[in-house]
């Protein structure tokens, strides 16, 4: 009989523990990789369901397992239907959409991806959903353009007694001015730059001289002019511009890149939709789009080749 030394016994115990742990990982991985449904030959795994369920939970609308699986099946059907009409969404478009999502949360894409991983889902899950929705938007808009058209009468009906058709609408020429804050800087850095931006507001007298002054400041970027109608601006900026003189600056706003203001350099009355009319138009369109999209998806699912495992 072979006797083992204490060190050899300890080693064997560690190896046995590692083996059991490894088997546990393999079992878990195998379970996650289990195929639960196949859509026209494309598999959906238990891991896909798990990650999507977590994503829906983070979005504030937790779904049951069947609802999550149905949503994943719908995504594959949407992309397949779009491809049938040669409508594709490129990887660059998906990355840009993901980056915009991160920006709205004042995060870098890599930071959002890390947060997703920590939360039990993944960036891939988010990007797959973005791709499906972008493709679906395009195909529904393309195939049913005539039924989605919103007329002036539709808008007036939606507004009802709140009709503001005679309200003045303006088109603004703006120059964004950004006081840059380095990535990873603390709250004090943003507050310091905000004070600098407020100081510039007091010295800004007219666009020509004011923009020249802004460009001379440390770590300040003056971007190319943008032209926006009243209805296309966020309410806080729109409200600020309505009462501003030409050649002045909006109050500073903190963004993920620093502190931003807008120089108002021109203001012209236009016949474009007022903010209220644009909101009514968007609401009517969204309702029609949702109704048409649901009917279309029901039709696709009725004839879809889906196999449940």
**Token digits for 248?**
């002045």
Report d(CA 283, CA 187) in Å as an integer. Answer: 38
- Residue 63 CB partners (closer than 8 Å, separation 6+): 53, 56, 71
Q: Which pLDDT does position 18 carry in this prediction? A: 38
pLDDT at position 278 over 80: no
Higher pLDDT, 119 or 1: 119
More confident residue, 1 or 168: 168
What's the pLDDT tens digit per position in 199-243?
999 999 899 999 999 999 999 999 999 998 887 888 888 888 888
Which of 19 and 213 is assigned the larger pLDDT?
A: 213
Only one residue has tokens 């609802």, namely 67
pLDDT of residue 2: 40
From CA 214, how far away is CA 177, in angstroms rounded? 8
Mean per-residue pLDDT, 59-79: 91
Say which range, 10-14, 113-117, 158-162, 187-191, has the weakest mean pLDDT.
10-14
Angle in degrees, 0-180, between the axes of helices 46-58 and 6-32, rounded to the nearest 10: 80
* Topology annotation, domain 168-270: Chitinase A; domain 3 (3.10.50)
**How high is the pLDDT of residue 136?**
95
* Confidence bin at 186 (pLDDT 50/70/90): confident
Cβ neighbours of residue 148 under 8 Å, at least 6 residues apart?
Answer: 140, 141, 285, 288, 289, 292
For 95-129, how does the pLDDT look when each residue is reduced to its tens digit (9 = 90+)?
999 998 888 887 888 888 998 888 888 999 999 99
b/e burial code for range 154-169 (CB count within 10 A of at least 16 → b): ebeebbeeebeeeeeb
Percent of the chain with pLDDT over 70: 86
Rounded Cα distance, 183 and 219, in Å: 13
pLDDT category at 187 given cuts 50, 70, 90 is confident
For residue 167, the model assigns a pLDDT of 60
Spatial contact of 46 and 36, defined as CB atoms under 8 Å apart: yes
Looking at the predicted structure, is the pLDDT value of residue 133 above 90?
yes
pLDDT band at 184; cut points 50, 70, 90: confident
Rg (CA), the chain: 27
Q: What is the band of 169 on the pLDDT scale with cuts at 50, 70, 90?
A: confident
**Cβ contact 276:167 at 8 Å:** yes
Give yes or no for residue 21 having a pLDDT over 80: no
Architecture of domain 24-145+290-308: Orthogonal Bundle (1.10)
Model pTM score: 0.60
**pLDDT single digits (tens) 153-168:** 777 777 776 655 556 6
Nearest Cα residue to 261 out of 292, 222, 215, 293: 222
Q: In the structure encoding, which two tokens stand for residue 258, read together?
A: 């620093």
More confident residue, 42 or 231: 42
Count the Cβ atoms, other than its own, within 10 Å of residue 303: 6
Write out the H or E segment, with its range, that includes residue 172. Answer: strand 169-180
Domain ranges of the chain: 24-145+290-308, 168-270
Q: What is d(CA 184, CA 257) in angstroms, rounded to the nearest whole number?
A: 10
For residue 233, the tally of other CB atoms under 10 A from its CB is: 19
CA distances from 168 to 12, 91, 165, 249, 276 (A): 83, 42, 8, 22, 11
Better pLDDT: 272 or 189: 189
Residue 274 DSSP class: P
CA angle in degrees (0–180, nearest 5) for 149-151-157: 125
Mean pLDDT, the chain, integer: 83
Q: Binning pLDDT at 50, 70 and 90, where does residue 17 land?
A: very low
Helices and strands in the chain, H and E counts: 12, 8
């Amino acid at each position: 009989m072979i006797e083992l030394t204490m060190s050899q016994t300890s080693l064997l115990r560690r190896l046995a523990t590692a083996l059991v742990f490894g088997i546990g990982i393999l079992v878990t991985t195998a379970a996650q990789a289990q195929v639960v449904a196949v859509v026209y030959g494309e598999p959906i795994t238990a891991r896909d369901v798990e990650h999507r369920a977590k994503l829906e939970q983070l979005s504030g609308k937790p779904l049951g397992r069947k609802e999550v699986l149905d949503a994943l099946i719908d995504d594959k059907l949407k992309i397949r239907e779009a491809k049938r009409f040669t409508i594709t969404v490129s990887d660059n478009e998906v990355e840009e959409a993901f980056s915009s999502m991160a920006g709205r949360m004042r995060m870098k894409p890599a930071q959002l991806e890390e947060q997703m991983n920590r939360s039990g889902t993944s960036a891939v899950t988010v990007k797959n959903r973005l791709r499906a929705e972008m493709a679906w938007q395009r195909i529904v808009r393309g195939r049913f353009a005539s039924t989605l058209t919103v007329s002036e009468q539709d808008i007036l009906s939606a507004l009802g007694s709140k009709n503001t058709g005679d309200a003045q609408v303006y088109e603004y020429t703006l120059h964004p001015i950004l006081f840059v804050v380095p990535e990873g800087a603390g709250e004090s850095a943003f507050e310091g730059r905000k004070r600098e931006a407020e100081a510039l507001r007091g010295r800004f007298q007219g666009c020509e001289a004011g923009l020249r002054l802004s460009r001379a400041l440390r770590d300040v970027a003056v971007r190319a002019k943008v032209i926006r109608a009243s209805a296309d601006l966020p309410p806080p900026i729109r409200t600020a511009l309505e009462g501003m003189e030409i050649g002045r600056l909006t109050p500073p706003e903190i963004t993920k890149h620093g502190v931003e203001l807008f120089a108002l350099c021109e203001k012209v009355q236009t016949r474009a939709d007022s903010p209220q009319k644009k909101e009514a138009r968007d609401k009517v369109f969204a309702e029609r789009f949702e109704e048409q999209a649901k009917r279309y998806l029901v039709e696709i699912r009725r004839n879809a080749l889906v196999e449940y495992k």
